[in-house]
Amino acid sequence: MAKKPKTTYYCQNCGTQHSKWMGQCNSCGEWNTIVEEVLETTASKAVSWKSSPQRGSSSIAPSKVKSIRDIETQQSVRTTTNDNELDRVMGGGMVDGSVTLIGGEPGIGKSTLMLQVVLGLNQKCLYISGEESEQQVQLRAKRIGIKNDDCYILTATSTQEIFRQIELNEPKVVIVDSIQTLHSQLIESSPGSVSQIRQCAAELIQFAKETDTPLFLIGHITKDGNIAGPKILEHMVDTVLQFEGDRHHVYRLLRANKNRFGSTHELGIYEMVGEGLREVSNPSEILISKRDADLSGNAVAATLEGIRPMLIEIQALVSTAVYGTPQRSTTGYDTRRLNMLLAVLEKRCGFHLGSKDVFLNITGGIRVDDPAIDLAVVAAILSSNEDIALPPKICFAAEVGLSGEIRPVSRIEQRISEAEKMGFDQVFISSHNKLQEGKFGIKVVRCGKIEEVFQHLFG
């Protein structure tokens, strides 16, 4: 009598394991997401990277307990990707044996970015595509421009076939597009299921660590914006990158949600053009519109993304509420913080905005969480409310407190230097910021309360 395969139940939304089927997942609360999956199959099919017949048996050195002072450390060797934006977000380049997971919406440009990286490297690379044919990948490569003749394409979804080709070709960098399309013979469930993603990722990570090969995994995302598959997938990898942007806009943002080898506060900006993704070295130029006429409701803020200062334009529209209940709508900014600033203007400064609609937009399709743009948001709202345009060559870099005070922000000198480089004449900062006098050619206006800012701007 054949042995019944071992099965369990997984939530396809969050990856939580259950002992039996249920209509609703106890972990994430989603309905009808729990499915039964086969965990293991016969021993004859159990082939992984470590036990592959081509590799033979691997000898693992026994582990010993060591004092923390006796452990020898060595500097991680980084290899540049020849992409300045990607290198910045990853902390300086690729680390040998590192595993990077890149997620993003469909059509945002994940495959284009990774293909562009391998085509620009001076190493032997293997691009594994489980979604597109060889001809489709080659057409994209010709459009981008083939600079690396040692770039090889493999269209396969079986991890055992992938490892066989890796051993034959011995690439220095491996790209997998995408992890949701792969399947392993160890698991009988369908590709894209929780158990398949976990098993395939584990085999690939084991390969990367044993061979010191940089590995990039492209991942799909769910409707909630999270990377599809079990949450443990993000814990297994070394770096998690998020590729963001609107498909209707040309600019794309690359952020690090997790990075074991660098900071998670860096931002990479690309422009989608016909030849692929173009690096944007000076984001201040693209985020500030060139206006021919002075319009009310526009203000410029000096913000920071990691160590990169940049200027962004904030647009506000304040109008009388015609539908009874005032609307509060934001694009690229936290709506709750907008409500807080409006309450400060109403309570502390005497501006009657409770019966008016307020719409706020950060140009360029980016999202900013830096509190240093608070003063620029307030200035844009007051400009639209008074219907008076702000002078075109001023910017703001300060936080607004609940009592209406102007609070200092960090690294103010970098913000002022960026504003001066972009040709601005004045910058409004907090009076509590310590700054060396006469260091900058731009006029620095110090303010302690919102009323002082209003007097300077509108008299």
Fold agreement between 80-281 and 286-458: no
Q: From CA 395, how far away is CA 416, in angstroms rounded?
A: 9
Q: From CA 426, how far away is CA 416, in angstroms rounded?
A: 9
51 vs 349, more confident: 349
Across-strand partners of 251?
271
Q: From CA 428, how far away is CA 245, in angstroms rounded?
A: 30
Can you give the pLDDT at residue 45? 44
CB-neighbour burial class of residue 260 (10 A; exposed 0-12, middle 13-18, buried 19+): middle
The residue-averaged pLDDT of 285-301 equals 79
Can you give the pLDDT at residue 300? 94
Is-contact 260 240, C-beta < 8 A? no
Positions at the binding site: 104-111
Nearest to 358 by CA among 325, 391, 395, 396: 325
| Strand pairing report for 276-279 and 267-273 | antiparallel
Report whether pLDDT(285) > 80. no
High-pLDDT (> 90) share of the chain, %: 48
Q: Which fold has domain 286-458?
A: Ribosomal Protein S5; domain 2 (3.30.230)
Can you give the pLDDT at residue 59? 45
Say how many CA atoms lie within 13 Å of 412 toward its Cβ. 24
Q: Pick the most confident of 5-9, 10-14, 25-29.
A: 25-29
The residue-averaged pLDDT of 353-361 equals 92
**Domains in the chain: boundaries:** 7-42, 80-281, 286-458
The residue-averaged pLDDT of 113-117 equals 93
Q: From CA 368, how far away is CA 91, in angstroms rounded?
A: 21
Nearest to 196 by CA among 218, 180, 174, 212: 180
Q: Which fold has domain 80-281?
A: Rossmann fold (3.40.50)
Can you give the pLDDT at residue 5? 64
* Model confidence band, residue 98 (pLDDT cutoffs 50, 70, 90): very high
**How do residues 187-207 score in pLDDT, each as one tens digit?**
777 787 888 888 899 999 999
The residue-averaged pLDDT of 387-395 equals 90
Nearest to 395 by CA among 378, 376, 408, 421: 376
Q: How far apart are the first and last CA of the chain?
A: 91
Report whether pLDDT(50) > 70. no
**How do residues 363-381 score in pLDDT, each as one tens digit?**
877 888 899 999 999 999 9
* Model confidence band, residue 216 (pLDDT cutoffs 50, 70, 90): very high
Positions at the binding site for ATP: 104-111
Report whether pLDDT(339) > 90. yes
Report whether pLDDT(292) > 70. no
* Model confidence band, residue 283 (pLDDT cutoffs 50, 70, 90): confident
Report whether pLDDT(334) > 90. yes
